[in-house]
Amino acid sequence: MVQVVAYNAVATLARVLDRIPRELRERLTEICVFDDASSDDTFLVGKGYQQTRDMPQLQVFRNPTNRGYGGNQKLGYRYAIDRGFDIVVLLHGDGQYAPEAMPNLLEPVIDGDAAAVLGSRMIEPGAARRGGMPLYKYLGNKILTRFENAMLDMDLSEFHSGYRVYSVEALKKIPFEANSDDFHFDTQIIIQMKAAGLPIKEVPIPTYYGDEICHVNGIKYARNVAKSVIEFRMHQSGVTHRPEYAHVEPPPYSEKFSASSSHQKIVNLVDAKKGARVLDVGCAGGYLARALAAKGCTVDGVDVRDDAAARAACKRYHVANIDGGAWEPEERDFDYVIFGDVLEHLRDTSILERSRAWLAPGGKIIASTGNIALWVMRLSLLAGRFRYAPRGILDESHVCLYTRDTFRELVKGAGFEITREDYAVIPIEKLAEDVRSLQSATLVIDGLQSMLARWWPDLFAYQFVLEAQARPGGQALAGKAVR
């Protein structure tokens, strides 16, 4: 299906339809013009073309109200999904993009090499300017594309072409209907494809600028594009929640070893001078186990899922239910039992109490969790928002949320005395880890965050990290109670 998006295209629509290659038309099931409530006679031109020209595949629709550039695309993609099409081509009715190039754009999707193909005016050096692209648009395109590539870890020559081909199966996998109805819809759908791991390819296309009217407010568009990219990175990091990225497969849990991160704080608290024995509870991908082993510790790990990387990092690795199960380690006398970002995932935290019996004399637990009373969360609640995200404090897999006081009460209630307390801050470095120019700025921001967290941890700490020892006599009392 070819979706022709049209708005006030009375002077160009017929020429665009004429230029769709005749040898390609036989392979097209439908060519659909979606007139977005134009104030001119675009719809009548389309209907007239349908009556007088040899194009039986042509369908002409008119939106009763203006849906916006992105909203108009949503209608077409939903139509393509509902009608069972395999491929949808996005073509503009203003003549800016050459219909003659359509076979080249279709080829990678037909061959199964791409889920999306973008027609690029920037692949061939100098072609965009020779085709009449104004200098300010050329420079704006280059600057925005460079920013988007850096923030999204991509390498596209152009993010801002409206000439595109999508696999309908790929469109089914992304929540495109949650995107904006404005022009930055095109950026959001690329982000969604990237986040879902769907392959994107570019194909060079000719550039043409004629007397068509541009309906894009350049300053607003640039601001919305940059905002969309930053919102995605913040969503990935769990700082905010964005519905347009909520159902895209989240990235796997990753290690956080900046100086102010919870993982680094935990590793720093482990005294490995005598080759400490450590039990890592809920060790996930084994990032803490690897760091501790590198420090000279002997690490046992347990998690509900098997993980090759975690297994390789641990001397012993156990797959077991740690949420309400009765799992006990075969070995005892650990110097440290670590609950790194795991207690908030458990409905039954009795494993914390049982861990007292697994410690050697003088042994300690180290536990970390997110701070639901962080200033960001407070502002969100004040604005009436409370949305879960793929990562962060409101991780969708969290079943318990803690403040500083309730986390301390949890640890003390399990029979421990807190011996040390530390704080981690919002992981700004995760937002900028692929952007070298921003990495020095994150050091300054992290320093400021750390200062505020120590001054007012209840408000500014992103995570709490507690070290604790079993209370004297606590294990004996617990043993008598069990007997």
- Structure-model confidence comparison of residues 166 and 478, the more confident one: 166
pTM for the model stands at 0.68
Q: What is the pLDDT of residues 36-47, one digit of tens each?
A: 999 999 999 999
Which of 76, 40, 77 is CA-nearest to residue 61? 76
Q: Is the pLDDT of residue 434 over 60?
A: no
Distance CA 423, CA 417 (A): 18
| 436: confidence class by pLDDT, cuts 50, 70, 90 | low
Q: What is the largest CA-CA distance in the chain?
A: 94
Residues of the chain with CATH 3.90.550.10: 2-245
Q: Is the pLDDT of residue 212 over 70?
A: no
The type of residue at 38 is: S
Residues of the chain with CATH 3.40.50.150: 262-482
Phi and psi for 467 in degrees, rounded to 5?
-110, 135
Question: What pLDDT does 102 receive?
Answer: 95
Question: What pLDDT does 477 receive?
Answer: 41
Counting residues of the chain whose pLDDT is more than 70, the rounded percentage is: 90
Q: Average the pLDDT over 125-135 and give the result.
A: 85
Distance CA 417, CA 415 (A): 7
Question: What pLDDT does 233 receive?
Answer: 83
| 483: confidence class by pLDDT, cuts 50, 70, 90 | very low
Question: What pLDDT does 472 receive?
Answer: 82
| 482: confidence class by pLDDT, cuts 50, 70, 90 | very low
| 481: confidence class by pLDDT, cuts 50, 70, 90 | very low
Q: Average the pLDDT over 70-96 and give the result.
A: 95
| 445: confidence class by pLDDT, cuts 50, 70, 90 | confident
Q: Of the ranges 139-148, 223-232, 339-348, 421-430, which one carries the lowest mean pLDDT score?
A: 421-430
Instruction: Give the DSSP H/E element, type plus range, for residue 219.
Output: helix 218-237
Q: Average the pLDDT over 83-87 and give the result.
A: 96
Please give the C-alpha separations between residue 476 and each of 331, 351, 416, 473, 480, in angstroms, as whole numbers: 19, 17, 13, 5, 6
First to last CA, the chain: 73
Q: What is the pLDDT of residues 312-364, one digit of tens each?
A: 999 999 999 999 878 999 889 999 999 999 999 999 999 999 999 999 999 99
- Structure-model confidence comparison of residues 480 and 395, the more confident one: 395
| 236: confidence class by pLDDT, cuts 50, 70, 90 | confident
Q: Of the ranges 206-210, 236-240, 265-269, 275-279, which one carries the lowest mean pLDDT score?
A: 236-240
CATH 3.90.550.10 holds for 2-245:
yes
Q: What is the average pLDDT score of the chain?
A: 88
The 3-state secondary structure of the chain reads: CEEEEECCCCCCHHHHHHCCCHHHHCCCCCEEEEECCCCCCHHHHHHHHHHHCCCCCEEEEECCCCCHHHHHHHHHHHHHHHCCCCEEEEEECCCCCCHHHHHHHHHHHHCCCCCEEEEECCCCCCHHHHCCCCHHHHHHHHHHHHHHHHHHCCCCCCCCCCCEEEEHHHHHCCCHHHCCCCCCHHHHHHHHHHHCCCCEEEEECCCCCCCCCCCCCHHHHHHHHHHHHHHHHHHHHCCCCCHHHCCCCCCCCCCCCCCCCHHHHHHHHCCCCCCCEEEEECCCCCHHHHHHHHCCCEEEEEECCCCHHHHHHCCEEEECCCCCCCCCCCCCCEEEEEEECCHHHCCCCHHHHHHHHHEEEEEEEEEEEECCCCHHHHHHHHCCCCCCECCCCCECCCCCCCCHHHHHHHHHHCCEEEEEEEEECCCHHHHCCCCHHHHHHHHHHHHHHHHHHHHCHHHHCCEEEEEEEECCCHHHHHHHHHC
Characterize the bridge pairing of strands 116-120 and 58-62: unpaired
Q: Of the ranges 7-16, 150-159, 269-278, which one carries the lowest mean pLDDT score?
A: 269-278
| Residue with token string 């491929």 | 87
| 247: confidence class by pLDDT, cuts 50, 70, 90 | low
Q: Is the pLDDT of residue 125 over 80?
A: yes
The answer to whether residues 191 and 225 touch, using CB atoms and an 8 Å cutoff, is no
Q: Average the pLDDT over 218-236 and give the result.
A: 88
Which structure tokens are listed for 125?
């050096």
The answer to whether residues 466 and 421 touch, using CB atoms and an 8 Å cutoff, is yes
Distance CA 183, CA 228 (A): 12
Distance CA 6, CA 13 (A): 8
Instruction: List the CATH code of the domain at 262-482.
Output: 3.40.50.150
Q: Is the pLDDT of residue 112 over 70?
A: yes
Question: What pLDDT does 97 receive?
Answer: 92
Question: What pLDDT does 473 receive?
Answer: 64
The answer to whether residues 286 and 252 touch, using CB atoms and an 8 Å cutoff, is no
The answer to whether residues 450 and 465 touch, using CB atoms and an 8 Å cutoff, is no
Distance CA 42, CA 12 (A): 9
